[in-house]
Structure 1
Amino acid sequence: MRSGFTETLRGLLDRPLASYYLLLSSSALLLTIGLVMVFSATMVESYSENGDAFAIVVRQATWALVGLVGFWIAQRLPARTYRSVSRPLLVFSVILGLILLAPNFGNSVVGTDDLWIHLGPVQFQPGELAKFALLLWVADSLVRLGPRIASWRDLAVPLFPIAGLSMIIIGYSDLGTMLIIVAMFIGLLWSAGVPMRILGTLFAIALAGSALLIAFEGYRMERIVSFNRPEDFADGWGYQAIQGYYAIADGGWFGVGLGESRQKWEWLPNGHNDFIFALIAEELGVVGCLVILALFGVLVYTGFRIARRSADPFRKLVAAGVTMWLAGQAFINIGGVLGLIPITGVPLPFISDGGTALVVVLAAVGMLAGFARAEPDAAVALRARNPSRLVRFLWAPLPPAPAGAESGSSSKQTSGSRTPSG
């Protein structure tokens, strides 16, 4: 029985478009769960403030629609477009980060507030865009360097000063986002084959820089100090952690029921955002948490699978970078909620309330979906289907044919053999 299931699973994973469908299904399920949990977490607050229990989740659903449009656009773009926009996008994100550092910038129409820039009724986080921009720029730079990545001097001149400046600007106001960017940056260098001696030095520099940023802001040090003994800081930074533990303990194996949380009645701060995993544990229990972790596991597996199967070096690096970004952010968020690491205040991808984070994540996953369609076997299968122009316009154009695929396809058709399909 077990061998039969294994063979069936292996057969499904061997299909040309397995990466694409795994990515779509896991992302769609996480997004759906996120919208449901945002509604559950905000219904009391939303009704109290607006007289409408659906006000906040409708806003989040609107951002989700914007993000799906971003997914659709990103899926259609070729790799050369991402490489060409990487530099101007990085410059734009650095400018936004500098604006964020100016608390008195703007007027009643444009202004800043902690991590957000406000444009009238709309607010967005520059740090979320910086993740995407730096990912594309670093991957493009590493591909251009080629074998010279083994040289510290060749890496340092174009790469380290700009990347370091971007991280400092973002980290000054948002340490959690900077830690995600640092992990993604070092992961990209490791994926490209940068020697370990360089990676070790960069890791030490990153630790020292993080320590300085923590020491510079008193509240960050208080979070670190209250990490091991939150009960000693119940009136301050330990309060959120303690309420999160109560939510997790109340949930048990199967939870108290969807929508039945007690902690969302103004007990747990940011239960719809940073601590939404605690409310998932309370309402859906350990089983619900395991489902979330399993879906993230499928997403991470699929991202690394796309990176491994991509023929283009840029696609390979970007796919690995997006995967490390999402995996790192999920680990930092869930680890903070469970008390494994200090709380940093980053959202849980796909699930936490927050428009900018959701739009950027969906656009990044859309890019990853385009790369999945460009896997050599997937590209051959899609081109063999020869979808209509309407389908290509409404969903996605055909990926480029891999090298040697045309002649191989012609010979197969002549011999009467079948072309694999997804």
Structure 2
Amino acid sequence: MSSSRTGRPPAQRSAGRPAAARTVRDNPVARLYTRAHRAWDRPLTAYYLILGGSLLITVLGLVMVYSASQITALQMSLPGSFFFRKQFTAAAIGGVLLLAASRMPVKLHRALAYPILAGAVFMMALVQVPGIGMAVNGNQNWISLGGSFQIQPSEFGKLALVLWAADLLARKQDKKLLSQWKHMLVPLVPVAFLLLGLIMLGGDMGTAIILTAILFGLLWLAGAPTRLFVGVLAIAAAIGAILIKTSPNRMGRLACIGATEMKPNGDCWQAVHGIYALASGGLFGSGLGASVEKWGQLPEAHTDFIFAVTGEELGLAGTLSVLALFAALGYAGIRVAGRTEDPFVRYAAGGVTTWITTQAVINIGAVLGLLPIAGVPLPLFSYGGSALLPTMFAIGLLIAFARDEPAARAALAMRQPRFGRKRGAGGSVSPRSPRRWNTMRRRAPAARPSGER
């Protein structure tokens, strides 16, 4: 019988280990679960999930925008790649904003809160000025920049509310004022209602719902008592019910929830054709570019209903992949907010996560027929530079916060240049210095003394 360096036979070594350790080592499923759990709990997991998930969503969105918008562009006597080029330009600018936000210190983020809020309020007020603001699909919430370029200031209002409210709540928490309900509500709720009022003047209730969700997420993170939380929620629900009841268009959208057949007057056309697109995709879809519904049957195929075209061309596998990427992004945002000791980072990360996940749920829920059509794009995925730019800046915030965790900072400090070599005096590269690979594993000693494990 063979023995090892310990001097004990294998049977005795196995008997000496605890039963739980033997079970994990002998069971391949348990071994795989243990490795996955350790990898999931590493300090840089949130950083890689946010960076990788957001980039994958953006790239896949560019592909689907190109596929879904070709027919619409040709019907408008435009080049087939017209919308794709505009979206690619916005993604390139957004990438610069993401990189800048990810490298900014937290103090600079806090310093930008008030200027961004003031700029957003100013632009949202300009929307209502005749000759400056313009209406698109019945909503007066756009500003023309000349030519085919437009901007929707309400999209920047989401980022403004997140940054300003995070800074406000963090300062009040440092002064131990959040235990008083008046300090928790004022001036947070009045400023949020100001933004909501400017948005609703243009008739954009979908963006108003997302802004309301951000407000509630921030109040929940601030530890608002249940009665206060329920009171604000009741007021918002009452205002929303009045706005829906007094608008035939919104009542019609509410009536289309779960619709599978169009009504005699033509209502629910978009909702029903969205379901048709998803149903015809099958498991793996009809292939990129092979959608039938985008040939004029499905309105807003490259914006609000791009998820339906994704289901038709990429099938259930494609839609589940998109859902998994958003789920990973949401988990990483929650993890960043939950592990930090900085109150500003917690509120800002929680606000951004609430914003992106709520908007994704509202968009996908409308396409699936589970929610009314709110007219909001799928974050990072749908066509629209006004929505893409602030969202990518917000993703940069999450990346900066994920890198700033103490454990993540320590892990990044341990990393060596992937192809770097040690430099001698004067900056010269030593030809005999070994190549240092980018790895988190501990290096084993060159030799082990006999008899050690």
* TM-score of Structure 1 vs Structure 2, range by shorter chain: 0.7 to 0.9
Q: Is residue 124 from structure 1 mapped to residue 130 from structure 2 by the alignment?
A: no
1:148 pairs, out of 163, 174, 177, with 177
Aligned partner of 1:371 in structure 2 is: 401
Distance 1:139 1:357 in 2: 21
- On the 8 A contact 1:230/1:239 being kept in 2, the answer is no
SS of equivalent to 1:150: coil
Structure 1 residue 159 and structure 2 residue 185: aligned?
no
Q: Which amino acid aligns with 1:170?
A: I
Quote the offset at 1:236 in angstroms: 4.2
What amino acid does structure 1 have at the position aligned with 2:101?
A: A
Residues 183-236 of structure 1 deviation map (CA, whole Å, 9 limit, x = unaligned)? 111011111211111111111111112123223433222222333557353644
The answer on 1:277 being equivalent to 2:307 is yes
Q: Percent identity?
A: 42
Partners of 2:124 and 2:141 within 8 A in 1: no
1:255, 1:281 within 8 Å by CA — same for their partners in 2?
Answer: yes
- State the 1:15 CA deviation: 2.6
For 1:170-181, what aligned pairs fall within 5 Å after superposition?
Answer: 170-173=199-202, 174-181=204-211
Picking from 83, 91, 94, the partner of 1:64 is: 91
Match of 2:64 in 1: 37
Amino acid in the other structure paired with 1:159: L
Instruction: Confirm whether residue 93 of structure 1 aligns to residue 123 of structure 2.
Output: no
In the alignment, structure 1 residue 298 sits paired with structure 2 residue 328:
yes
Residue 420 of structure 1 deviates from its aligned partner by 6.1
Q: Which residue of 1 aligns with 2:244?
A: 214
Q: Structure 1 residues 386 and 252, CA, compared in 2 at 3 Å: closer, same or farther?
A: closer
Q: What's the CA shift for 1:46?
A: 2.3
Q: CA deviation at 1:180?
A: 0.7
Q: Distance in 2 between matches of 1:76 and 1:282?
A: 39
Q: Quick check: 275-284 or 217-226, which moved more?
A: 217-226
- 1:44 touches 1:264 (CA, 8 Å); kept in 2? yes
Structure 1 or 2: more helix by fraction: 1
Between the aligned partners of 1:229 and 1:262, the Cα distance in structure 2 is 20
Is residue 276 of structure 2 the alignment partner of residue 240 of structure 1?
Answer: no
The answer for the alignment partner of 2:338 in structure 1 is 308
Confirm or deny: 8 A CA contact 2:260 2:275 kept in the other structure. no
What CA distance in whole angstroms lies between the structure 1 residues aligned with 2:327 and 2:163? Answer: 24
| Residue of structure 2 in register with 1:413 after alignment | none
Return the letter of the residue paired with 1:296: F
TM-score normalised to the size of structure 1? 0.87
1:169 aligns with 2:209: no
Q: Tell me, which stretches of 5 or more residues in structure 2 are unaligned?
A: 1-27, 419-438, 443-453
Tell me how large the CA RMSD over aligned residues is.
2.2
Q: 3-state SS of the aligned residue for 2:143?
A: strand
Number of aligned pairs?
389
Quote how far apart the aligned CAs of 1:45 are.
Answer: 2.4
Whole-Å separation in 2 of the counterparts to 1:287 and 1:345: 25
Report deviation, 1:319. Answer: 0.8
**C-alpha contact 1:214 1:220 (8 A) present in aligned 2:** yes
Matched residue of 2:299: which SS? coil
- Counterpart check, 1:22 vs 2:49: yes
In structure 2, the residue matched to 1:353 is: 383
In structure 2, distance between residues paired with 1:384 and 1:240: 53
Tell me if structure 1 keeps the 8 A contact 2:306–2:382: yes
